[in-house]
Structures are given as C-alpha cells and as structure tokens.
Amino acid sequence: MDITQEQWWQEAQQDSNAVILDVRTEDEWNQGIIPGAINIDIYKGQGFIYQVDELDKFKTYYIYCRSGGRSGQACNLMQQMGFAKTYNLVGGIMEWNGPVVMPEEK
C-alpha cells in the first residue's frame, strides 16, 4: 500500500514490529539511508526473493527505494509471498524530507 512520507515515518516510529527495508542497490545505499533501514536489493532477482523469504512475515515492512517504483514492486511481491503488512514510501528517498544517515560499513 502506498502511503505518504509523514504517515510512513510516523507509523514506522510507533510500530514495535516495524522493519524499514531499502530495496535499492548497494551503490545507492552507500549514498545515504533512512535510519534503521536494512538493505535487500530488488535488482538481485531470485536473490531478493531468497533473502526476503527469510524475513519474519508477521512484522510490518516500511519499504522504500529511490523514487517509489521498485519499493512498490517489492510490496506486491512480498504480499504474494504471504507478508500481511507492507507499506510503500510514495516518492522514495528522492522526495524524503526526514532524516538520512550514512550506513555503517558492511
């Protein structure tokens, strides 16, 4: 489900089951992330499916990418895989007005 950044961030902060998922490439990830995010690159295709399949399907996923397209695809895929709650950040990190931090070294 697409939601506005205000709603996305507010709900992610108040939700004890929240997982912030960044589906961009590693190069994009290294340019800055939304605090607390984990990274699984949707361009990895089957690798993305394998990694997502290991996640807890009962948690709530707040998903973003650069502009909202890939994260929308990720939401649809994850719903097909049995994830009940996935929220897409409309406009992605390009339109994000909230906090951005540099990721820690992997």
Residue 43, pLDDT score: 97
In a domain, 101, yes or no: no
Helix, strand, coil percent values for the chain (each to nearest 5): 40, 20, 40
Asked whether residue 104 is domain-assigned, the answer is no
Q: Identify the domain containing residue 51 by its residue range.
A: 2-95
> Residue 106 and residue 89: Cα distance in Å, rounded?
24
Residue with tokens 């399949």: 53
CATH number of the domain within which 69 lies:
3.40.250.10
Query: pLDDT tens digits, residue range 21-64?
Result: 999 999 999 999 999 999 999 999 999 999 999 999 999 999 99
Q: Are strands 60-64 and 18-22 parallel, antiparallel or unpaired?
A: parallel
**Residue 54 in domain:** yes
Number of structural domains (the chain) is: 1
Averaged pLDDT score across all residues of the chain = 96
User: So what's the pLDDT on residue 106?
Assistant: 54
Residues designated as active site: 65
